Structure formats: C-alpha cells, structure tokens
Amino acid sequence: MENNSQLCGNFDSELKRDFIKALFRSKHMGTKLIGRMRDGDQDVSFVEIAMMHHATTPHEHISGMQDFLFVSKPAISQMLGKLEKKGYVTRETDKENRRKVNVSLTKRGEAVLDTAQEEMNEMVNNLISSFGEDDTLELIRLVNKLADVVDEIQAERLKKEAQK
C-alpha cells in the first residue's frame, strides 16, 4: 500500500499535504482507540456496540440509529442482521405498527455492551483528562465544523452532478 506521503504528493502546498495526512491519521486513530473488542471467538466493532446501545434506548427507532451513525436504513438493517446472527439482539415486528421493528438486546448482548461501555468510558476519560476540558471542547467544535463543511461540499457536488 502507498504511504501517506505518496498519496499526498500531488498537492501543491505543504498545508494541503499536512491536512490530508492529518485526515488519514485521524481515520486510523479512531480505529486504534475504539476499534474492536473480542467476545470469545467473535470481533465486535464500535459501530455494532453503538447499535446495541441504541437498542437499549426506549422508543429508539431505526431512524435514530441512522442519525447517530450516519448510515442508510439498508445498512442499519444489514448490521442488525449481523448482530442477530451473533446472538446479541433480537428483532420483532411491532404488533401495533407493522412498519416498526423493535430491537432488544439478548443477555449476551447486554454483557458485551456493559464491557464495551466500561472500556469506552475509561478511554474517553483518559482522553479528556489528557486534553483538558477547553481543548476537548475546541476539538469537538472543530470536528463538527469539519463535518458540516464536508457535508456542504458533498451536497454542492451532488447538486452539480444532478444538473449535468
């Protein structure tokens, strides 16, 4: 695989290269920090843990999972299928509203979620302690601003493509 300096080599300024490298680094950093945990012989991803957490929230719908994870409804459905196959959740069609699917954790899912939440709390506490409250708030602001700008650029790109 090409290293980041080769991937960033076509950019015409050091600022651009450093920005792209930081984006690549942050992508991998999230995987390193949160990544996966083991449950016996199975890997459990951060996204799966987040979905299990949402399954424990009263009146949580699939749309809430979509909003939190920024993925499509079919992707949520596919991920829930994997969680069901692993034995972490059950899905049932709501008797009163057949369009709604109720998701519940199994005992095994509850145990995995409890362990994951303990590990994540410790990791987040360490990060906030290392950064300090002010820098943590600034990081949150900047990451959200970056996400908003990327969304705006993507929307503009899609609008231009639709006009072609």
What is the residue whose two structure tokens read 């609008």?
Answer: 159
pLDDT digits (tens, 9 = 90+) for 2-17: 444 454 456 678 888 8
Q: Supply the pTM of this predicted model.
A: 0.68
What's the distance, CA 60 to chain centroid? Answer: 17
DSSP readout, 3-66? -HHHHTTT-SSHHHHHHHHHHHHHHHHHHHHT-EEEETTEEEEHHHHHHHHHHTSTT--HHHHH
Backbone angles phi, psi at 8, to 5 degrees: -95, 0
pLDDT digits (tens, 9 = 90+) for 97-127: 888 888 889 999 999 999 888 888 888 899 9
Per-residue pLDDT, 83: 93
pLDDT digits (tens, 9 = 90+) for 44-85: 887 888 888 887 776 666 777 777 777 888 888 899 999 999
CA distance 65 to 61: 7
The residues spanned by each domain of the chain are 1-33, 35-131
The CATH number of 35-131 is 1.10.10.10
What's the distance, CA 32 to chain centroid? Answer: 13
